Every structure is written in structure tokens, then in C-alpha cells.
Amino acid sequence: AQKVTQAQTEISVVEKEDVTLDCVYETRDTTYYLFWYKQPPSGELVFLIRRNSFDEQNEISGRYSWNFQKSTSSFNFTITASQVVDSAVYFCALSRAEYGNKLVFGAGTILRVKS
Amino acid sequence: DAMVIQNPRYQVTQFGKPVTLSCSQTLNHNVMYWYQQKSSQAPKLLFHYYDKDFNNEADTPDNFQSRRPNTSFCFLDIRSPGLGDAAMYLCATSRDLGANTEAFFGQGTRLTVV
């Protein structure tokens, strides 16, 4: 069975602070995919990143960075110099390789960035 | 321009009265998905269509059905909504089932059951 745990229910930071959202996953598959999605108040899920299990390189995209560590089954997401527009619910998700878009989501982390 | 459109954004239905939620896409994707997201919970996959092939998740209640009359449209039918079915329903599409293609989500329909 696949499972994603986001232990942080809610995080509040002040603008310009860095913040890390934790994600721990469980799977018996050797090939799998990990995702992060952002859900702003408008409701739609916005794709942020996809990482396959064979690629442990960390990734940076602007103020966003992701740290994938297979040894600890973690796929953490850091926002540098947070902004009010980053306020949203962030979901980490996992999928099997052959059904890559059938996503198992974590419970989500509410991020509140205050000015 | 919105690529996955869900109508309506908000739907109120009576307990036990059948209700249909609509999703359309302009991406010509092969796969369409329906997720249920209850308040403060993670989205949960109900079923998906690959073209005309319907695939139900094992734990999706029989109360939930779906139709896909053509590539562009997919409907979620709730035959007898209960109070526990109140949720946000998210439609998504992807070109293929594999994770090498990105899934695009609509804005969701928030269903209230009274």
C-alpha cells in the first residue's frame, strides 16, 4: 500500500522567511513518482514538481527547492523568501510508475504567509 | 484560459436527490479523473476514464457513477447523496496514464447536501 504523510498541519511564517514543508512516503514499489501540488483558495490544484524514484538530485526552481532522500523516504519542499502569494495548501503525492497520474495525496499543509 | 472546466463551482442538493457534476477539457487528453476532497482532507481518487474505458477505485462507493460521452466531457453522478458526500469534487486530465505526462486539475465543484 502507498501512503504519504505530511506531519505539519499548518505553518505560519512572516514574509521573507524561509519555510520547509515535510513529506514522508511509504511504498513497496521500486519505481514510483513523487509530486508537490499547490492549492490556492480558488481551489484548483497547481502542479509544482514531479520526481521519479531514480532521480535523487535536488531541484531548484526560483524560490522553490526540493530535497529528495530515498534513505529516509522523504521529499521535502522549501520556499525561500516566502511571499504572501505563497499562502495556500500544499500537497505531497505519490504514484506508481505505471499509473503515474493516479495520485495518493498526503493530508496537506496549510501555509500562511503574513506580511 | 481555463483548460479543465468544472460546472457548477458550487452545487447544493437535497439529501437523496440525484445530482450530476460536469467536467470539460480543451486539452484533448485521453484520461479524465474524478477526485473527492472532503473538508481539510487530501483529495481521494474515485475513478478514471482512459478514453472510453472506465476504471473504478476499489473503495469507491456504488453511489458514485461516471459517464464520458466524448473526449471532452466527463460527468460525475451521485445517485443518492448523503450528508457524508458533501465535499469538493475535483476533475483532472492527463494525456496518458504514465507519470511522464502532467495532470491538469479543474477548480472543483463544492457540493453541499442539505
Which region holds residue A55: left if phi is over 0, alpha if psi is between -120 and 50, else beta?
beta
| Pick from A33, A42, A95: CB nearest B107 | A42
Is A98 within 8 Å of B101 when comparing Cβ atoms?
Answer: no
Confidence of residue B1 (pLDDT cuts 50, 70, 90): low
Interface probe, candidates A2, A6, A102, A110, chain B, greatest B C-beta count within 10 A: A102
Q: Using alpha carbons only, what angle is made at residue A91 by residues A27 and A36, rounded to the nearest 5 degrees? A: 75
Three-class SS state of A85 = helix
Which pLDDT score, from 0 to 100, does residue B99 have? 65
| Pick from B43, B98, B103: CB nearest A47 | B103
Which pLDDT score, from 0 to 100, does residue A83 have? 97
Q: Collect all residues of chain A within an 8 Å Cβ-Cβ radius of residue B102.
A: 47, 50
Distance CA A80, CA A83 (A): 9
In chain B, pLDDT over 70 holds for what percent of residues? 97
Q: Collect all residues of chain B within an 8 Å Cβ-Cβ radius of residue A43.
A: 9, 88, 90, 107-108, 110
Is A102 within 8 Å of B108 when comparing Cβ atoms?
Answer: no
Report chain B's terminal Cα–Cα distance, integer Å.
Answer: 33
pLDDT tens digit string along A41-57? 888 889 999 998 988 88
Chain B residue with minimal CA distance to A104? B44
Which pLDDT score, from 0 to 100, does residue B16 have? 96
Which pLDDT score, from 0 to 100, does residue A76 have? 97
Task: Assess whether pLDDT exceeds 80 at residue B100.
Answer: no
Task: Assess whether pLDDT exceeds 80 at residue B98.
Answer: no
Residues of chain A short of pLDDT 50, as ranges, are: none
Distance CA B70, CA B75 (A): 11
